Amino acid sequence: MENKSLLKINNMYKWFDATQALKGVDLEIQGGQIHGLIGENGSGKSTITSIIAGVKMPTEGRMFFKGQPWEPSSMASAFDCGVSMILQEANTIPGCTVAENLYAGHISKFRKYGFLDSRKMVRKASEKLADFGVSHIDAAGLVDQYGFEDRKVVEIVRSLSSSTELLIIDETTTALSHEGRKMLYSIMHKMKEEGKAVIFISHDIDEIIEHCTNLTVLRDGEITGHLSYEDLQKDDAIERIRFLMVGRDIGDAYYREDYDSSHEEEIALEFKDVSVSGVKNFNLQLHKGEIIGFGGLSGSGMHEIGRAAFGLEKLASGKVIRNEQIIKSPHDAIRGSIGYISKDRDVEALILSGDVRDNIALPSLDGLSRFSFIHPSKEKELVEAEIESLNIKCYSGKQLVGTLSGGNKQKVSFAKWTANDSDVIVMDCPTRGVDVGVKQSMYAFIAEMKKQGKAVLMISEELPELIGMSDRIFIMKDDKVQKIFERHPDLKESDLIEYMI
């Protein structure tokens, strides 16, 4: 059966002031495709897909959907015509219920004689969640009560209706738990089977090879190559994709190469009988020069442990101790030279309306100031060094963080703590949404921290990164540590998964 052309883009350009995000892109999406889109941070993936989904307007270029000119004026109008998108950034409306979020932009469906039939809306929303096998989210409850990963699930459910023909998934998997990922993959494959199409953006090449029917690679706003299904199955696929993305061979040195898990005697951070959320009487000693990894499914308690380490959670009992001081708030943590990279970067880690410079320098202001006077040249120097070492794509330190691409925001949230030279860094999914080249620099940086006697607590859903970087890995399930693995060259993902599920 010949696949029909669903969407066509001709010669598309997009400028944001002086930044040229797209430079003459041509693309065709056919029914029955799970069409992968990959490229370095800032290469234009979200820009193209936001234009398709009616979120942004192109500067130049034409689009056709099912043979007709396609000029959606908003996300809601694109949705009504069968094109929807799960945005890279968090996109639920706080202060509203799950049901209101599911029907945002379409609430009028539930209006009768001017009154809103909320009960009907909640009932329909519950049915919709159930259709996707989501039973733990209450349609009548406020969306705010759910964690970042569950809010993303709400967005996924919202993005689909029976008339959806083209679904765009922008770097969503890294925001999800393992269960959420499984749900997303099954939605993608179902759409493919039904002759509909998916555009799937991800930085994870293995994930792309496993799920996509074909792939388009972007670099600096231009398409550098297409790979067919057959190309993706070849042995050199990974190498070829990386080359098309970065224009050079980035090599295989990725994770730590040593298997030396020794560390100093001194304790850098200690949990003493900590009970937080569902976790009971948790004990941990993180030493100087040690990298401890935490893996598990969402709801396993691992994210809460990370939050507690930075004073973000109120403990039911026990203490988190650093240098004999008890950590009760982020303020205590920062004073104790603890940094924290949050999984929910837009809410907890970044000031989106602030510029790159202010965001990076914020935790370092004490060190940069004298009698409350901040030394501007020192601040500039510090920030510029971070922009360079993490290759943050911005026109200058003055660019607002809210206008950076997703991966570049993540780099800023990482740079905040490297800039202030924290002695302990708690990282919750530190490489979320960053491209392979930058991941490589982040891993090198983490390995260097160990060498300098700093301590790292790395919480991650990416098992290869846990195995590749940690001295010890704690696997959590049901709020308990099920198993501790020591660093070893033979350790495999399947060994870890066995204790997670």
Q: Which residues bind ligand ATP (CB under 6 A)?
A: 16, 19, 21, 39, 41-47, 88, 171, 393, 403-408, 433
Q: Is 359 in the site for Mg ion (CB under 5 A)?
A: no
In whole angstroms, give the CA distance from residue 341 to residue 368: 21
Instruction: Report the nearest approach of Mg ion to the CB of residue 51 (Å).
Output: 13
Quote the CA–CA distance of 423 and 200 in Å, as a whole number.
Answer: 38
| Min dist. Cβ of residue 160 to ligand ATP (A) | 22
Strands 214-219 and 222-227: antiparallel
Identity of the residue, 16 or 445, whose beta carbon is nearer to ligand ATP in the bound complex: 16
CB nearer to ligand ATP: give 392 or 481. Answer: 392
Torsion angle of the four alpha carbons 224, 226, 230, 233, in this order, in degrees rounded to the nearest 10: 50
The site partner of 43 among ligand ATP, Mg ion, none (C-beta below 5 to 8 Å per kind) is ligand ATP
Neighbours of 152 (CB within 10 A): 23
Minimum CB separation of residue 442 from ligand ATP in Å reads 14
In the shown chain, the binding pattern of residues 404 to 443 toward Mg ion, with x for contact by CB under 5 A and - for none, equals -xx-------------------------------------
CB of 36 to Mg ion, least distance (A): 14
Question: Which residue from 169, 229, 161, 194 is spatially nearest to 4, judged by alpha carbons?
Answer: 194
Closer residue to Mg ion (CB): 58 or 406: 406
49: contact with Mg ion by CB under 5 A = no
Task: Return the amino acid letter for 5.
Answer: S
Residue 485: C-alpha distances to residues 261, 293, 428, 476 (Å): 12, 10, 19, 12
Does position 202 bind Mg ion by CB under 5 A? no
260 closest CA partner among 295, 289, 294: 289
Shortest distance, position 334 Cβ to ligand ATP, whole Å: 27
Partner that binds at residue 289, options ligand ATP, Mg ion, none, CB closer than 5 to 8 Å by kind: none
> Which partner, Mg ion, ligand ATP, none, binds residue 151 by CB below 5 to 8 Å per kind?
none
Per CB under 5 A, the list member of 46, 92, 172, 213 interacting with Mg ion is 46
Question: Helical H runs in 159-299?
Answer: 178-193, 205-211, 229-233, 237-246
The entry of Mg ion, ligand ATP, none near residue 32 (CB within 5 to 8 angstroms by kind) is: none
**Bridge-partner residues for 459, per DSSP?**
294, 428
Residue nearest to Mg ion (CB): 46
Stretch that binds Mg ion, among 22-30, 39-47, 205-213, 367-375 (CB under 5 A): 39-47
Residue 19 Cβ vs ligand ATP, minimum distance, rounded to whole Å: 5
**β-strand pairing of 369-370 with 34-39:** unpaired
Question: Closer CB to ligand ATP, residue 19 or residue 389?
Answer: 19
Which of ligand ATP, Mg ion, none does residue 44 bind (CB under 5 to 8 Å by kind)?
A: ligand ATP
Q: How far is the CB of 164 from Mg ion (least distance, A)?
A: 21
Residue number, 46 or 159, with CB nearest to ligand ATP: 46
Q: In what order do the strands lie in the sheet with 19-30?
A: 19-30, 5-16, 60-65, 68-69
Which DSSP helix (H) or strand (E) runs through 369? strand 369-370
| Residue linked to tokens 């295989």 | 252
Q: Which one of 71-79, 82-90, 381-389, 454-462 is the stretch in contact with Mg ion (CB under 5 A)?
A: 82-90
473, 464 contact by CB (below 8 A): no
Give 117 or 207: the residue with its C-beta nearer to Mg ion: 207
Rounded distance between C-alpha atoms, residue 494 and residue 298, angstroms = 18
Q: Which is nearer to Mg ion, 165 or 171 (CB)?
A: 171
Structure token digits, residue 66 = 């099912």
Closer Cβ to ligand ATP, 171 or 313, answer by number: 171
**Does residue 336 belong to the site contacting Mg ion (CB under 5 A)?**
no
* Nearest residue (CB) to ligand ATP, 204 versus 421: 204
Q: How far is the CB of 20 from ligand ATP (least distance, A)?
A: 8
Binding part of the chain for Mg ion, among 13-21, 40-48, 76-84, 151-159 by CB under 5 A, reads 40-48
Radius of gyration from C-alpha coordinates of the chain: 23
**Beta strand extents in 193-324 (DSSP E only):** 197-201, 214-219, 222-227, 267-276, 279-287, 291-296, 317-322
Of Mg ion, ligand ATP, none, which one does residue 468 interact with (CB within 5 to 8 Å by kind)? none
Q: Which ranges of 263-350 does DSSP label H, i.e. alpha helix? A: 302-309, 330-335
- Asked if 221 interacts with Mg ion (CB under 5 A), we say no
How large is the angle between the packed helices 178-193 and 148-158, nearest 10 degrees?
10
Residues making contact with Mg ion (CB under 5 A): 46, 88, 405-406
